[in-house]
Amino acid sequence: MLASNGYATKSALKKAIGEPLQYEETSLYGTEYTSTGTLTMVGPSAYNRKWYAQITMENGKIKSVK
């Protein structure tokens, strides 16, 4: 799961649609980020988990947030 790096709320993440994703890798098993596909993110940080989001990426930009 990716951790938010710059989005205090899920609403702030939704406002970033169309921009590159600011994230922090948390996996011990390799890179989770993909420039096209679906990702899961926790925020506002890896240790302070107040929200979760499913993010669809397309060509390195945020396409949608659920």
Provide the residue ranges of all domains of the chain, joining segments of one domain with +: 2-65
Output the pTM of the full model.
0.92
Give bridge partners of residue 57 from the DSSP assignment. 37, 62
Per-residue tens of pLDDT for the chain, all 66 residues: 999 999 999 999 999 999 999 999 999 999 999 999 999 999 999 999 999 999 999 999 999 999
* Sequential DSSP letters for 6-22: S-SSHHHHHHTTTS---
